[in-house]
Chain A
Amino acid sequence: MQDVILKISNLSKSFGPVKALRGVDFELCKGEIHAIAGENGAGKSTLMNIIDGILQPDSGEILLDGVPTKIASPTMAQQLGIGFVHQEIALCPDVSVAENIFMAMTNVSKSWLMDYSALERDAEKVFRQLSSIDPSVLVRDLSISNQQLVEIAKALTLDCRVLILDEPTAALTETEAQTLFGIMRDLAAKGISIIYISHRMVEIFDNCDRVSVFRDGQHIVTRDVADLEPNDVVNAMVGREIGNLYPEKRQTLSDDVILDVRNLNETTRFRDVSFAVQRGEILGLAGLIGAGRSEIAKGICKLEGTVTGEIRLNGELLNLRTYQDSIAQGIVYLSEDRKGDGIFLDLPISSNVSALKLEQVAGRFGLISKSAEETQASELGLKLNLKYGALENPVSSLSGGNQQKVALAKMLSISPRLIFLDEPTRGVDVGAKSEIHRILRDLANEGVGIVVISSELPELIGVCDRVLVVREGRISGAVTGDAMTEENIMCLASVMKAEAVTQ
């Protein structure tokens, strides 16, 4: 094997009674891309935070280049050549891309004054290999995926030897992700070691050299990716056999149409959109970020934009004017940005679940019945296998997967007829993810119309019966059955003519 740059032995860390890490060993070689897999709560973030100096271990040793090192702070980690790209974007929205990139540098710089022209020159150099982002643009004007690229660029400027990437592709489109993987391989070839955290098996198996699996604060296994199958990793992560990652697809075809949309137009975001959702089917909406997938869903629900066209629900022509009308008809939209607009983090679980139609848990004079509210939440919680302490606890006390289940419970509270789910499993661990997929299939079998929007192609292919691809505000094609492959969807999403695939 090559030189070991970072070696961690017998590391432990507790938070009160919770043992986050229990005697963990880990080795990182020079120039390797090392994937770290594990469910939420397995201890990945704790380990990364220790490597970055954010947390201090209770016991154990960290060896950098064979020398025992105490990493006391993120600043020290920076000086030691450790760069960390966090999953959550932490940029200053009101200053330029260039300044954001070199924010970290101002820490190290000895000069008192900012040399703006040099900043932009250097920033452009960084971006030349990454993507075409103008360094003088304000960060707030960038899309989420471009902001993520800025985060990565920021870490790259620090001349790091060890680069930690925590789910960097969560907000990226497939093409952008591929660009990132290219950069990762270049960096590795230059001798930089990369720790790559991801929930996506395909990414791990396509791009990484080795993979380490963590579970319940323990290191389970480290192997060359070539010696493993994706299912081995998933099984090691959850500690039990997950027979099939995705639920079974629908058995019988039904001609019943739940939603029928014709000639939907929005002034700038999409044109001539027509499609139908059949009873019992899960329909996928694929496409690059910004192609108009979410916009179509939000447009139908009247959450955003001015939409013209015909929308029929169970054959009945709808005239929706507001999202309230849409909810009354049983059409709901589960947002892609869970923390931003999906849930009320500080409010109790039960109040989150009841928010969509408070009248259901209220009696005369609009008085909310606490017991009705808690019954509703606990019944839906049971159905969704929600893990919680008490229903009056704030949603912020739950893990990402359970937070998403609360958001889903909110949708289900009104017994919807059609649900749009935008990135329903973003930031959700493998176990909860497959539970959510199973729930979607159950709902479809119960006759609820399901439309899933996702940037994760394996998810769309695994879960949906049919996938529509959106490109530049138009539906560029549909794939079903064996034609549902990543290649076909990517072709439809980017350049090729629709006929080439569907015929």
Chain B
Amino acid sequence: MNGNNDMSNSEALVNPASADRARSSLIGRMLRMRETGLVVIILLLFVIMTFASPYFLTWANMRAMSMAFAVDGLLVIGMTILLISGGIDLSVGSVTALAMVVAGWLFLSGVDPWLASAISIAMCTGIGAFMGFFVTRVGLHHFIVSLAVMVIARGACLLFTGGRPLGLFTLPPEFKFIGQGTIGPVPIVIVIFLVFVVAFDFMLRHTTMFRKVFYTGSNEKAAAYSGIRTKKVIFLTTTLCSTLCGVAGIIYMARFGSAQPTFGLGLELTIIAAAVIGGASLNGGSGSILGAILGVILLSLVSSSLALLDVSVYWQDIIRGSILLAAVTIDHYLNKRRR
């Protein structure tokens, strides 16, 4: 029940300031929270799978599953914040792959792996700034700009590698440790993931900086009329999202010990789906890190369950798509009633 414990820990950690208010009607508030519904669905699926497959509730499977959603979790943090500000980024999959490929290519050319990673992450920040420029200065839509960058970044991946994965067997062990090591029984990847989740969830709830992201996404013009530099906010959320792609790419590289130019095809859709299941609105102005992480966990749980149950890969996408549609529809109606 490792994954489950992690969640309750992080929930306790991210809510210190609202604890006094929550005490008054804890249960009522919990029931009204969007996250509660997701937790219930996840637990339900968990119980069902425990009975359905003997391989499900094993240390190896739990570990593999949490490793799978941990790095995607970084991407979903960036995506959620970007969605709250009113933007969207279709390039996360290919920018993550490009981060991997560029760092790997630099390493193979003799650059120190840590320096190569730093350069690669900086490049992703640059890509984010590039998209932010086109969105805020030129005035194009996030969708189109990131669609173009998605294709460009994927092309660059293939260009750097000639289309073949780069084997990075010579990576020093202390570097591979980021992706493969453990502290006690807990993989480093999970630790990094939890630190990011707690930090960003806290900042999103409590800092003026991120409150401005909500204002901007809720009503950009009203935000401008409240003296908020909305273009700057959108520029920064776009840049943050791409930067987190860079971080995720490096972790993946350390974990796989290779750089794969075709990594993350279609990943952007999973990430957006997770954020939306977790309560982010494509119209901006709403969303939460905790919800989005639960969304990633749910999707990853479903994938892993389908694989364990030997469901044909052809069916898996159909089922995942249907789950997305169902989750969002249910949420839409619940939200309507809440208003």
Contact = CB atoms under 8 A, between A and B. Distances in A.
A366 B212 CA distance: 12
B330 interface: no
A475 to B, nearest CB: 25
B21 interface: yes
B36 interface: no
Nearest to B338: A394
Contacts of B285: 344, 346-347
A19 B228 CA distance: 41
B225 A370 contact: no
Interface in A391-449: 394, 396-397, 410
B141 interface: no
Interface string B221-235: 111111111000000
Contacts of B339: 394, 396-397
Nearest to A411: B226
Interface in A344-363: 344-347, 351, 355-359, 362
Contacts of A341: 219, 221-222, 224-225
B206 A368 contact: yes
Contacts of B225: 303, 323, 333, 335, 341-342
A244 to B, nearest CB: 33
Contacts of B229: 324
A365 B208 CA distance: 9
B96 interface: no
Interface string A348-391: 00010001111100100111101000000000000000000000
A358 B211 contact: yes
Interface string B200-229: 000000111101101100110111111111
Given A367-B207, A370-B21, A344 B219 contact: yes
Contact of B218 (A323, A333, A342, A346): A346
B227 A356 contact: yes
B286 interface: yes
B170 interface: no
A397 B339 CA distance: 7
Interface residues of A, number: 32
B84 to A, nearest CB: 11
Contact of A347 (B21, B215, B228): B215
B47 interface: no
Interface centre among B18, B208, B225 (most CB of A within 10 A): B225
A284 B223 CA distance: 26
A343 interface: yes
A410 B222 CA distance: 11
Contact of A344 (B209, B222, B227): B222
Contacts of A322: 227
Nearest to B222: A341
Contacts of A333: 225
Given A344-B215, A344-B219, A347-B215, A370 B208 contact: no
A396 B219 CA distance: 13
A368 B205 CA distance: 8
B219 A351 contact: no
B215 to A, nearest CB: 6
A303 B225 CA distance: 7
A327 B227 contact: yes
Interface in A61-95: none
Contacts of A370: 17-18, 21
Given A358-B208, A366-B209, A368-B208, A345 B218 contact: yes
A357 B208 CA distance: 9
Rank and list the top 6 A-B pairs by shortest CB-CB distance, nearest first. Answer: A341-B221, A358-B208, A344-B218, A355-B226, A366-B208, A327-B227
Given A340-B221, A396-B339, 12 more contacts: A303-B225, A327-B227, A335-B225, A341-B219, A343-B219, A344-B219, A344-B222, A344-B223, A347-B215, A355-B228, A358-B212, A370-B18
18 contacts: A323-B227, A333-B225, A341-B224, A343-B219, A343-B222, A344-B214, A344-B223, A344-B285, A346-B285, A351-B214, A355-B222, A358-B211, A362-B207, A366-B207, A367-B206, A370-B21, A394-B339, A396-B339
Interface of B: 17-18, 21, 206-209, 211-212, 214-215, 218-219, 221-229, 285-286, 339
